[in-house]
């Protein structure tokens, strides 16, 4: 991962000159969001900064353990406190998101008005301009970028086990346990250095991936056996699921994490989606098996979203049935192959 020398030296200046550091990450945080934020928290704590994480909303149970012994504010639970913290911060680190809009409307407004120094550490395409942009869309995860940034800041390759645990967790969640975004040899050097701190990879994997409730596992079974629609000719598939169906399985945030990937397990399917009804909107997740189907472009063009070439998300404020109708037409028209 190539870094501009001036970016690292400016970041060092910002860290030296500023005492209060706040880390913010995206709405509906995943393992990479919480992994990168907590690793950065721990690093700043080690160098004696006044540091805090602002998380926009609910943290899924399977990654909650990463937040042990950190200071964090969930903005949806205590917006006033999150706002105050952000307004008082000297240095803001934006982790695992490329744009202020990714942390929700209320926080976006506050971020847009902040005058402090802002440093982005991320791997999504098209980053919004911050004071420093450590933006590496080719990286597997933000956690991989964080390791590289910390290595250049500190000169060290092996960090304390709690930092390594956070970074390892983010890499594993964002690569589906090294099954995608996993072709770069540099990634395995990072993982090797994380393991050198003595962390137990198998135990972390169990904590993240083997913590399903019975309801969550049943919801997965229901989604695949009852809700999967496959379009053989178009090599596409999707699952659409309503709020009332989710409620039958006592849906908890994070319970649909990873469900979209099951559609791609079908031989002959190159593009897929998970469409799920939430309180006030429809959430969309898109995946593809090949760079020639750029779901980031598709999500940006049609579904108010974005992400990566082979994994992206979006949203709609139409009804579930309207979204399904429109999306089905897009499949028949092969609109998911977006021409420039």
Residue 311 contacts which entry, ligand 5GP, Mn ion, none (Cβ below 5-8 A, type-dependent): ligand 5GP
Q: Say if residues 49 and 78 touch (Cβ distance below 8 Å).
A: no
Binding pattern to Mn ion, positions 71-110, x when CB under 5 A?
-------------------------x--------------
Three-point CA angle 260, 308, 312, nearest 5°: 35
Which region, judged by CB under 6 A, interacts with ligand 5GP, from 47-55, 135-143, 310-318, 326-334? 310-318
Task: Answer yes or no whether residue 174 interacts with Mn ion by CB under 5 A.
Answer: yes
The correct pick among 305, 310, 327, 336 for binding ligand 5GP (CB under 6 A) is: 305
**Count of alpha carbons within 13 Å of 32, Cβ hemisphere only?**
25
Angstrom distance (rounded) from CA 113 to CA 266: 46
Three-point CA angle 187, 191, 196, nearest 5°: 150
Nearer to Mn ion, 70 or 98 (CB): 98
Task: Answer yes or no whether residue 270 interacts with Mn ion by CB under 5 A.
Answer: no
Task: Answer yes or no whether residue 35 interacts with ligand 5GP by CB under 6 A.
Answer: no
Task: Answer yes or no whether residue 32 interacts with Mn ion by CB under 5 A.
Answer: yes
Three-point CA angle 198, 200, 205, nearest 5°: 145
Handedness of CA 185, 188, 192, 194 (dihedral sign): positive
Among positions 85-104, residues that touch ligand 5GP (CB under 6 A) are 102
Angstrom distance (rounded) from CA 313 to CA 335: 16
Q: Is residue 266 exposed (0-12), middle (13-18) or buried (19+ Cβ within 10 Å)?
A: middle
Residue 230 CB, nearest approach to ligand 5GP (Å): 19
The correct pick among 246, 309, 311, 323 for binding ligand 5GP (CB under 6 A) is: 311
Residue 305 contacts which entry, ligand 5GP, Mn ion, none (Cβ below 5-8 A, type-dependent): ligand 5GP
Q: Where do contacts with ligand 5GP occur on this chain (CB under 6 A)?
A: 26, 102, 285, 305-308, 311-315
């Amino acid at each position: 991962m190539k870094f501009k020398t001036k970016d690292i030296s400016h970041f060092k200046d910002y860290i030296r000159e500023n005492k209060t550091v706040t880390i913010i990450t995206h709405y509906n945080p995943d393992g990479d969001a919480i992994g990168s934020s907590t690793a950065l928290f721990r690093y700043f704590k080690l160098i004696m900064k006044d540091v805090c994480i602002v998380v926009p909303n609910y943290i899924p149970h399977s990654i909650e353990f990463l937040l042990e012994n950190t200071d964090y504010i969930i903005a949806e639970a205590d917006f006033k406190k999150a706002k105050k913290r952000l307004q008082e911060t000297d240095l803001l680190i934006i982790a695992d998101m490329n744009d202020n809009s990714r942390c929700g409307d209320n926080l976006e407004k506050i971020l847009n008005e902040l005058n402090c120094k802002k440093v982005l550490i991320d791997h999504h395409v098209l980053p919004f301009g911050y004071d420093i942009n450590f933006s590496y869309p080719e990286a597997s995860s933000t956690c991989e970028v964080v390791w590289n940034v910390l290595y250049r800041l500190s000169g060290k390759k092996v960090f304390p086990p709690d930092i390594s645990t956070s970074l390892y967790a983010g890499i594993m969640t964002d690569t589906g346990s090294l099954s995608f975004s996993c072709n770069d040899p540099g990634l395995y050097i990072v993982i090797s250095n994380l393991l050198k701190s003595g962390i137990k990879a198998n135990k972390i994997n169990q904590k993240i991936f083997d913590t399903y409730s019975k309801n969550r596992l049943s919801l997965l079974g229901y989604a695949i056996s009852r809700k999967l629609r496959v379009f053989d000719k178009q090599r596409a598939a999707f699952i659409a699921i309503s709020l009332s169906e989710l409620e039958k399985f006592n849906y908890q945030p994070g319970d649909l994490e990873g469900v979209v990937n099951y559609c791609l397990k079908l031989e002959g399917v190159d593009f897929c989606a998970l469409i799920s009804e939430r309180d006030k909107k429809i959430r969309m997740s898109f995946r593809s098996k090949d760079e020639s189907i750029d779901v980031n472009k598709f999500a940006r063009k049609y579904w108010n979203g974005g992400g990566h070439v082979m994994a992206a998300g979006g949203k709609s404020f139409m009804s579930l049935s309207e979204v399904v109708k429109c999306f089905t037409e897009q499949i028949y028209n092969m609109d998911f192959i977006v021409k420039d």
